[in-house]
Amino acid sequence: MSQSRNDLQDRRFGATFRTDSWWTEVLPVIIVFGGFGIYATWRAFQGVSYEFGPYLSPFYSPLIDAEHHWLPAWLSPALLILGAPLGFRTTCYYYRKAYYRAFFLSPPSCAVTGVGAGKYSGERKFPFILQNLHRYFLYLAILFIIILAYDAVKAFFFADGFGVGVGSLVMTVNVVLLSCYTFSCHSLRHIIGGKLDCFSCEVAGGARHKAWKGVSILNERHMLFAWASLVSVGLTDLYIKLLCEGTITDLRLF
Amino acid sequence: MAEATLRVYRGDKDGGGHVDYKVPVAPGMVVLDALHYIQGHQAPDLAVRWNCKAAKCGSCSGEVNGRPKLMCKTRMDDLPLDQPITVNPLKTFPIIKDLVTDVSLNYRINKKIPAFTPRENTDWRMQQDDIDRVQEFRKCIECFLCQNVCHVLRDHQKTEEFGGPRFFVRVAGLDMHPLDSVSRTELLKDELGIGFCNITKCCTEVCPEDIHITDNAIIPLKERVVDDYYDPIMWVIRKLTGKK
Ligand code: SF4
Ligand code: SF4
Ligand code: FES
Ligand code: FES
């Protein structure tokens, strides 16, 4: 069998000599990321069923003007804070890889030609040049971790005093996974010590080297934490929503 | 003895096509062995570049069933032998003959990078903690598989504006060196066009030396470029302190 030389240099979308099913790599991203996006948008706009006893949905924390004193009735309080976690995840180095491949097909998989030949500018032009501001979303995300940790502690204090419900555990696991995701961030790895050329030449260089090492260990699992925390945020909200709607009841462990 | 069909690209810059060769498969055989069998028994004029046959010289890069690989490190028993195995030259670089391509573009890019420049009166003692990072980058064998798979070069052909992953690894090794005195962020941003990289990690996936190119070289370099060119607070701090 012979093929023409042009086949080897084919740069049309999808051109590849790969024989494995490369498209299966992007399917989970499309399903989980897409599914979460739709669910989170719907829940954020809903503006109801986000608080049950001491539990507060992470989509609505910090809760701003829940009684709608100054917030128009049609505006859900979740929409006021959505920008921070959304910005953090969309500018995240890992998610960028995931969605550039799965949604922008740039490239859809390795050694498979993507879309936009001739028009590609990567992250050099607007809007993608804004990805360079990821560290600012990190600062906001750290603030959110403090707030969510406070919510998780509050989730152990019921009307009748201290107790442990399944919801308390759900909220605790959620904040732990979110912390793992946030503290494994590439920007944090840089800021905390990666930016130094010589650790031992700097004031507190030893401590910064240790901190950089610690973040690096977490950073190796950044993808895992990105997905685990995404799923846990969605499930925590779903749990509280179902409690509010009376579909399920919260089990009090003690 | 099992038999495999190798569908090998034969041609030069003026054109060519694939030719099928039947090869007996011996235990432990790699794709490069199969090509040597073809050279020895069926096509003595088949051009293939190789040197060490030990995955250390970086010469035998090619594309096996569409995947960028070192051919001396790709075992036949890892491939589905019931179908022909396609063996192509690297797509990104101009073909010379058959499986041999002209990778000189990489040497031109390399020349843009200022070499290691120690500070004046350097104390040549280094701490292990300070050089751990750069030792990973020294593992590069210059096989250029990462350059070949990178879609910025492969699909978008930004050969003049983009340095490519191998050279980000080299810059990382120099810029993160505790004794080096030169900053290469301007070079990264402008001449090596690091902004073209959209961190999709194909370079990391193909690196036979398992260098974490994207996580340990490119992203940290992107962050250094952010420090110097995109972070507004860092800009204000630089203005206030007068530091470069
Ligand atoms: S991560 Fe960047 S350098 Fe590596 S292959 Fe992808 S676009 Fe190219
Ligand atoms: S970084 Fe890895 S893939 Fe790239 S040239 Fe070096 S060894 Fe090869
Ligand atoms: S890189 Fe993923 S959160 Fe910062
Ligand atoms: S022949 Fe040296 S790397 Fe394959």
- pLDDT digits 0-9 by tens, A66-79: 888 888 888 888 99
Residues A82 and A140 sit within 8 Å (Cβ to Cβ): no
| B149 reaches A (C-beta below 8 A) | yes
| B5 reaches A (C-beta below 8 A) | no
List all residues 6 or more positions away from A116 whose beta carbon is below 8 Å from its beta carbon: A106, B156
The class level of CATH for B104-241 reads: mainly alpha
Stretch 63-122 of chain B: residues touching chain A, C-beta under 8 Å = 63, 65-68, 80, 83-84, 86, 88-89, 91, 95
Share of chain A above pLDDT 70, in %: 98
**Are A200 and B19 a contacting pair at CB < 8 A?**
no
Classified by CATH at the fold level, domain B2-101 comes out as Ubiquitin-like (UB roll) (3.10.20)
pLDDT, position A254: 84
Residue with tokens 């992007």: A26
Tens digit of each residue's pLDDT (9 = 90 or more) over B124-151 = 999 999 999 999 999 999 999 999 999 9
Residue A4: pLDDT over 60? no
Residue B205: pLDDT over 90? yes
**CATH 3.10.20.30 occupies which residues in chain B?**
2-101
Chain B residues whose beta carbon lies within 8 Å of the beta carbon of residue A189? 220
Mean pLDDT of A142-155: 98
* Alpha-carbon torsion angle A138, A140, A146, A152, nearest 10: -90
3-class state of residue A161 by DSSP: strand
**Are B66 and A4 a contacting pair at CB < 8 A?**
no
Residue A3: pLDDT over 90? no
Instruction: Take residue B141 and report the two structure tokens written for it.
Output: 């064998």
CA distance A132 to A87: 12
CA distance A208 to A216: 12
**Are A122 and B19 a contacting pair at CB < 8 A?**
no
Instruction: Take residue B200 and report the two structure tokens written for it.
Output: 């999709």
pLDDT, position B165: 98
Q: For all residues of chain B together, what is the average pLDDT?
A: 96
pLDDT, position A165: 96
pLDDT, position A65: 85
Closest atom of ligand 4 relative to the B208 alpha carbon: 3
> First and final CA of chain B: distance in angstroms?
67
Mean pLDDT of A177-182: 98
**CATH 1.10.1060.10 occupies which residues in chain B?**
104-241
Ligand nearest to the CA of B199: 1
Tens digit of each residue's pLDDT (9 = 90 or more) over B155-190 = 999 999 999 999 999 999 999 999 999 999 999 999
pTM of the model: 0.96
CA-angle at A187, arms to A186 and A191, nearest 5°: 120
Mean pLDDT of A76-84: 91
Least confident of B11-15, B134-138, B209-213: B11-15
Q: Examine the predicted complex and report whether its ipTM is higher than 0.85.
A: yes
Question: Beta strands B3-12 and B85-88: pairing type?
Answer: parallel
Q: Please write down the HEC assignment for all residues of chain B.
A: CCEEEEEEEEEECCEEEEEEEEEECCCCCEHHHHHHHHHHHCCCCCCCCCCCCCCCCCCCEEEECCEEEECCCCEHHHCCCCCCEEEECCCCCCEEECCEECCHHHHHHHHCCCCCCECCCCCCCCCHHHHHHHHHHCCCCCCCHHHHHCHHHHCCCCCCCCCCHHHHHHHHHHHCCCCECCCCHHHHHCCCCHHHCCCCCHHHHHCCCCCCHHHHHHHHHHHHHHHHHHCHHHHHHHHHHCCC
Beta strands in chain A (DSSP E): 51-52, 55-56, 157-158, 161-162
Q: For residue B122, how many other CB atoms are within 10 A of its CB?
A: 13
Residue B242: pLDDT over 90? no
Cis peptide before B89 (omega within 30 of 0): no
List all residues 6 or more positions away from B160 whose beta carbon is below 8 Å from its beta carbon: none
Share of chain A above pLDDT 90, in %: 86
CA distance B31 to B5: 11
**Are A2 and B202 a contacting pair at CB < 8 A?**
no
pLDDT, position A1: 45
Residue A5: pLDDT over 80? no
pLDDT, position B119: 87
pLDDT, position A116: 83
pLDDT, position B244: 67
CA distance A7 to A113: 12
CA distance B19 to B28: 24
**Are A200 and B178 a contacting pair at CB < 8 A?**
yes
pLDDT band of residue B225 (cuts 50, 70, 90) is: very high
- Across the interface, which of A96, A100, A133 has its CB nearest the CB of B230? A133
CA distance A148 to A61: 7
Mean pLDDT of B229-234: 94
pLDDT band of residue A172 (cuts 50, 70, 90) is: very high
Q: For all residues of chain A together, what is the average pLDDT?
A: 94
pLDDT, position A55: 97
Ligand nearest to the CA of B35: 4
pLDDT, position A148: 98
Residue B74: pLDDT over 70? yes
CA distance B9 to B61: 14
CA distance B10 to A58: 60
Residue A212: pLDDT over 90? yes
